[in-house]
Amino acid sequence: MYGKAFAPEYQGALTTLSVNSSLTDVLAAGTEQLRAAERAGQPGEAARSGLAVAEAHRRLGRVEDADRAWKASYRAARQAGDAGAMAWALWSGGTLARQRGALPLARRLLRLAADLGEQGGDIVVRGYSLAGLAETGRIQGDYEAVGRLHEQLLAEARRRGEARHTVWALEGIAQMHRNTGRYDTAYALFEEAAEIAARADDRRGHAWALRGLADVVSVRDGDTERALELLSRAETTCRAMRLSSALAYNHKMRGNVLYRAGRYAQARELYEQALAEFREMSEPRGEALSRLGLAKSLARLGRDPDETAAELAGLADLLERIGLQHARRMVARAHEELGIPAAGPATEAAR
């Protein structure tokens, strides 16, 4: 039913690159082709090569370089009068904005990208942009608003046999079920995503699915060792492909698994590692979640309750600014779990 996964963001002379190409290889090939296109006065090719450069920088956590690259790609596409390439550049910029925690900007850029893709008849960039909007809403915790869009995009991906997009949609829907306590449904969807990704040779999608399975195995079954084994398999892929963000989230999840098992000192080490990784790539959502896990671990290891309360209050304020509803609920649960009341202005934010 599904063919081999492909990477539509690798365009022009870079279509030979695989979805599993190392990001350092993508960056090198994209930069070389971009320079050649600029020397030859080919703005359309420069736009499409620049897209690959922007995406490689983004996934490597080099946010400033990624920001410059997607904007340069958009300018080149506009010069070439290529609406499809303009849409792809906006999609890259919107995805970067979400990664940086600028969610209103992410929605604006992704909506523009979807509209341009529809106007230009590029159904792939339209689908990717709508998927980006759905993922932005899901990250914010607005499940009712984006659940139907996830299901719509899943149906479209299944109909076209697009393995990579099917895997993405399954994982997003699974995450919403997991976050609302429907663990069996979440597990089945993550499992299906992992199977499709493996058959389609989508190593990135497979690594994220394994992370989801590990989470459910840990929280539902209390099977710490199996969860850690699944995360180790995913980490091997993340390291091989230089997936910096996915690797940091893997380490954060490993901290979650160890924390649930009562192995607080080990959890603290993993949260500290993930926190440093997220800070290096300027990813505020991952940084906030790692700080939350670290605060809980330190509390379990005897940290002064007033210090923990101050940390949780700061996190509640940060998550309020970013607009992450589900993460704010996690802070509220941390207060309850640790027996530390939320005081003053932080009380409402934590709810």
- At residue 307, φ and ψ (nearest 5 deg) are -65, -40
Q: Are 217 and 194 in contact (CB under 8 A)?
A: no
**Domains present along the chain, CATH in parentheses:** 9-114 (1.25.40.10)
Flag whether the pTM goes above 0.75: yes
Handedness of CA 218, 294, 281, 77 (dihedral sign): positive
Taking the C-alpha atoms of residue 291 and residue 268, their distance in angstroms, rounded to an integer, is: 10
Cα distances (angstroms) measured from residue 215 to each of 226, 231, 258, 275, 305: 10, 9, 11, 19, 28
Q: Are 231 and 254 in contact (CB under 8 A)?
A: yes
The per-residue pLDDT for range 24-35, each reduced to its tens digit, is 999 999 999 999
Residue 230 vs residue 328, higher pLDDT: 230
- Both tokens of 182, joined, read 């429907």
- Both tokens of 35, joined, read 């320079």
CB atoms < 10 A from the CB of 144, how many?
9
The per-residue pLDDT for range 119-148, each reduced to its tens digit, is 988 988 998 999 999 999 888 888 888 888
Q: What is the mean pLDDT of residues 326-340?
A: 86
Cα distances (angstroms) measured from residue 143 to each of 140, 190, 324, 345: 8, 18, 12, 26
335: left (phi over 0), alpha (psi -120 to 50) or beta: alpha
The per-residue pLDDT for range 216-270, each reduced to its tens digit, is 999 999 999 999 999 999 999 999 988 888 999 999 999 999 999 999 999 999 9
Instruction: Say which residue the tokens 């995450």 belong to.
Output: 175
Output DSSP code: residue 13.
Answer: G
pLDDT of residue 321: 83
CB atoms < 10 A from the CB of 163, how many?
26
When computed from its CA atoms, the radius of gyration of the chain, rounded to whole angstroms, is: 20
